[in-house]
Each structure stands twice: as structure tokens, then as C-alpha cells.
Amino acid sequence: MATCVPAVSGALHYGVTNCKGHSYRRSASFSDVPNTGFLQKDLSWSKAVSKVLQIHRCGFSAPPLHKDQKLFKVISSWKKDSPTKYFDFIVIGSGIAGLRYALEVAKYGSVAVITKAESHECNTNYAQGGVSAVLCPSDSVESHIKDTIVAGAYLCDEESVRVVCTEGPERVRELIAMGASFDHGEDGNLHLMREGGHSHHRIVHAADMTGKEIERALLKEVISNPRIFVFEHHFAIDLLTCQDRSDMICLGVDTLNSKTLEVIRFLSKVTLLASGGAGHIYPKTTNPLVATGDGIAMAHRAQAVISNMEFVQFHPTALADEGLPIKPTKPRENAFLITEAVRGDGGILYNFGMERFMPLYDERAELAPRDVVARSIDDQLKKRHEKYVLLDISHKPKEEILSHFPNIASTCLQYGLDITRRPIPVVPAAHYMCGGVQAGLQGETNVKGLYVAGEVACTGLHGANRLASNSLLEALVFARRAVQPSVDHMKGSSLDLTASNLWPRPVVPLPLGSNVTDKIMSTTKELRAELQSIMWDYVGIVRSTMRLETAEQKIGSLEAKWEESLFQHGWKPTMVGPEICEMRNLFCCAKLVVSSALSRHESRGLHYTVDFPYLEESKRLPTIIFPSSPVNSTWSSRQLHKQPMYQ
């Protein structure tokens, strides 16, 4: 499926695609690995990313450009009812990264913001804790840098960390200037919280609904901007790419309007992927339903480099419905998050015997980084054969609890739990992808014209474990840093109207009929749940080589079973539907996670394996997944337009 460069020393195996598209395996030392400079410890990701991203492309089958053909003509308008729309900039995703970027690039041209559900339905909207930034005189950028690197198990790119921690405060001030309202203390200054892994109070927040407030402020600005056009319920299917000599170039994206079932093609000079993470490869996740790894999978199929997918952050404290006095009447679509700030504000973790257990695992106790707390809870649950642990904040003044955590308090009260008097039942849940599409310091990827920001990106900031509340900060900083190179690329390009005809269009499976479609959707739903169970059982908080290999085999068999079922019912590779496209992306991301996890022969940060339980300094290297060969790859790893067109 992919070429994984594991964090190892000495000899390793990697796949090479030759110019005829055939694959072979070769044993090599680091000196033989393409762009080996990227793998040296004294060379940061940000300085070497442009080198590592110049990789073998000769076997790719993207449509070639005509000789001397220019990609773009300047087009800033679009026809409302046209199946093809032209913009200067395309933004895929409507969270903090996408909206912040859109507001900036709109100063230079027309912008399409494409989102698969309503504009507000994104991971940003569900972020409770806040934004970490040095906004207090007693704090320092150096301290924030140190906390980030320690939490990231020393796998962070130091230059990326310094950039984010240094530029972060100004990005927060810009949000405030736009109208984002954050909590203030009695002295009139911003009220700053402290969370696990932080040495100072530096989390700016809006009670326990910070993401919702940021999303509100940004959407208000976006909606009032005449150059920004928001396309809701448009599912991004695949990026549209062309090959120009050694460069892979992105020219836009095909989407499916999930309301009208019409395929809409967007062509653009610049595309920003800001589509979030892939929490729904697991059955228990704090992510909204839209987080199915669409951006990571699309980028992988478009030959973008992917990094560090083994580092899946499980939030230690999601609400455990089993422990509520009044059980929910139906299963949740996503787990309800109990913010890190509860522990930062003095919350204590107990097991069923009301024994405080975190001091047994780490001297920082409840304020240890998330990977430590999640593994500790997991260990307690397995040792004691229990389904959840208890997080108690009831020893704090009632008024303070209700003031700091109104959303959590009101949600728990709906199920008969008063958090000012009783502990909260909690359990770990999949929360955040620290890996993603490899990005440089300006959000650039190896695919020309394609930029990334937010959770979909791997900037090197998080390393092996994200420090609490650094995610919104990273999104703000890299969305802003991607603006200037995007504008430069846009100004140096022109759009050819005939580009729309370079790729066959995906088709909607209307001829299959409702009965056949219903069967396909039922099978897909059933196998989706099975895939999630495999990931939870075999690729969870604690891993082993045997379990990972079992997961790899089971996922491969499950994907083959799904594809066979689809095609037996008349589905064609170029057909699209929201559920089917999501399933393709879930399979793709699940395989990327497992492949990366198998490549790391140590335990670091979020990746803990019983077969290699110790951290190895010689393996302090990122895991790189190079573009896959189109030969013998599965449907989830191929762009639709690379398939023969079926009528």
C-alpha cells in the first residue's frame, strides 16, 4: 500500500517504484534511502521538507499536461448552476484552520469553502479546553517550547515548535480583534487555565466551549465577506492532479452535493486541505461524524507524503455512558468529551475503590500528558476488570465548577449526575491524529498548489503526543503561514478552462435502483462497525506486533470483502456516494495507522507496544509514508479518475 520509512538505524526495507510502475523491494542503509538528509537528527523537518517531498513520481498515472500548456487563467467568477466552478482558492474544511485561511486569502481573490456538513460541524466546534499561548508575563515562549517537546516525547521538530509558540500569542490577539470572546478574571485580564503537560497557566478559553466561540466568530466574518462562497453538504471525493515533468500539481477537487446527489467539480490555482482528523476509524471517539479521514486519504491518493500516523491520541477522559445514573436512550454518534481543564483545575482520578491511582504511574499525577494518563487508565481498567474510572471535581466550590464547566455540568445533569456533588465516570476515547499530510513551515506539501493546515497536517509540532490545547494554536499559526506562498502561487499561475476535461467525472449510482443501493449501504454500515472494532481491539492504546499484524490481515480481508460485495451488486469504481466515499477513506487511514505502527520498533509517546516497551534514542525519527504505487493498490488507495470510465 505504501512505502514506510520506519524509525530504525542500519538496514531497512523500503519499496521503490520504477518508471514502468513496477514495484520491487530492496534492502538499504540510510545512505541509500531517497532524500536521506531528512532522516538526520541534526536537520529539522522544516528545513528538509522540500527535499523529502521531491520523491519518485515517474510511475504515477495522473493526466499529463500538454506541452507548454499553462495551468491557469485568472478566473474569479463561477456560474451558480454549473457542474464546474472556478476559484482562485479552494478551502476544504470549515474549522478554525480553513476559515482563518479563507479570510486572509480572500484579500487576493475568490474563495470557495467546501464542507461536508453544516459549516459549524467540525472538530473546532467540539473543542472544549482552549488555545495555549504565552499571554502572561510570568510565562515564557521557552517554557512553552519545552513543555511541547517533552509532551511530544522529543520527536517534535524544534523549528516548528518555536514558530508556533512564538507566533501563537499574536494569532490569539487577532481572534480577539475579530470578536472572539474569551473568559476574563476579576482583574480584567484573560483568565488562563492550566492543563496536563503545561508548566504554566496559559490556556485562553471561553468556559468549556472555546471551540464553539471561535467557530462563531470566524463564521460571522466569513459569511459577511463577499469574496468567500461557502458550499455546505459538499463531500470532497478526490483531489484533481496533473503531472508536469517531475512535479505533481493539484488543480482542484471533485465533490458530491449530498443533498442533490450532483457531482460538482471545483478548479482552482490553490487548494488548502483543512479537513480535520480520522477519529471515526475507532468506535469510541470524541470527534463529530464528519471526521472520517477524508483529507488524509485524498492526499495519500494524490501522492502526498504522509507522516507519523501511528500516533493516535486517545483523550483520557470521555464521558462513560455506562456509569451515568440515567443511561442515554440511544448510542452517541460521538463520545462526549470531559475537557483536560477539569484535571487542570484540580480534578482527581479514582478507581472504583476510590483509590487515587495517577501518583502510582507518574509524579505529575493528573497533570501528566495525555498519553501517560490514557495508558494509566487503560491499565487500571484491565487490572481491575472495570469499564470506567471516576474523575472527581466535586471538592471545588460549586460556583467555580459551574462557572468553568457549564457545558459539562448541564450535559451530565441531563443524565442525573450532579458533578458538583459526585464524580464523573470517564473512559479513554480516540481524540486526535498527531500524524497526517507532511507539511513544511508554510503548510506546503510535495504536491504543488496543495497546502495543509490543522489536524489533517503533520507539521512536526506534536511529535509523538500532542500537548493539550496546542491543536487550535497550530491551526491558527499554519493557516496564517500558508497564506503568502498560496498567494504567490496563485499570482504566478493562470487557469485554462479546458482543464475541466482532463479527468473523467465520478458518477452517481442512480441506475442501480433503491433496493440494490439499500443493500450496499447496509453492508457498508455493518463492515464499517467491524473495521472500527478491529482498530479498537488491535490498534488501541497498548499494542503488540502480533496484534498489529492481525489487524493488518483482518483489515485487508475486510476491505476485499467490501469491494467484492460492492462490485457484485453492480457498483463501479467511478461511482460515488457519501457512505461509500467515507468507507474508502476509513479503510485508507486505518491501513496507514497500522502500517506506521508496525514500522516503529520502540514505545514513544502515543505509540506503546509491549514488544518494544522502551524509548530508543536511535529511533527518534519520524515515520514517513511515501506515495504508493498505483500497481496492485486497493480501491481506497487509488484516485477515482485513474480508473477506466464505466458506462
Q: Which residues are part of the catalytic machinery?
A: 370
Neighbouring CB atoms inside 10 A of 632's CB total 11
CB count within 10 Å of CB 406 equals: 13
Ramachandran sector of residue 270 (left: φ over 0; alpha: ψ -120 to 50; beta: rest): beta
User: How many C-beta neighbours within 10 Å does residue 526 have?
Assistant: 11
The total number of residues shown for the chain amounts to 647
Nine cell digits for residue 544: 503488540
Which helix (H) or strand (E) is 371 found in, with range? helix 370-384
**Residues 380, 385: Cα–Cα separation, whole Å:** 8
Burial of 382 (0-12, 13-18, 19+ CB in 10 A): exposed
Question: For 7, which DSSP code?
Answer: S
* Contact yes or no for 580/640 (Cβ under 8 A): no
Taking each helix axis from N to C end, the angle separating 545-568 and 578-599, rounded to the nearest 10 degrees, works out to 160
In the sheet with 203-204, reading across from the earlier edge strand, the strands are: 131-132, 203-204, 192-193
Question: Which cell is 80 given?
Answer: 451558480
Residues 6+ apart with CB under 8 A from 277: 123, 287, 291, 293, 296, 432, 433, 436, 455, 456
Residue among 606, 509, 602, 598 nearest 556 (CA): 598
Q: Do residues 108 and 289 touch, judged by C-beta distance below 8 A?
A: no
- Which residue matches cell numbers 500524524? 435
- Determine contact, residues 548/600, Cβ cutoff 8 Å: no
DSSP 571: -
β-pairing verdict for 389-392 and 348-350: antiparallel
Q: Is 238 exposed, middle or buried (0-12, 13-18, 19+ CB in 10 A)?
A: buried
Q: Are 386 and 428 in contact (CB under 8 A)?
A: no
User: Rounded to 5, what percent of the chain is helix, strand, coil?
Assistant: 35, 20, 45
- For 216, the enclosing helix (H) or strand (E) is helix 210-223
User: How far, in Å, are 5, 367, 555, 634 from residue 550 at the CA level?
Assistant: 21, 34, 8, 19
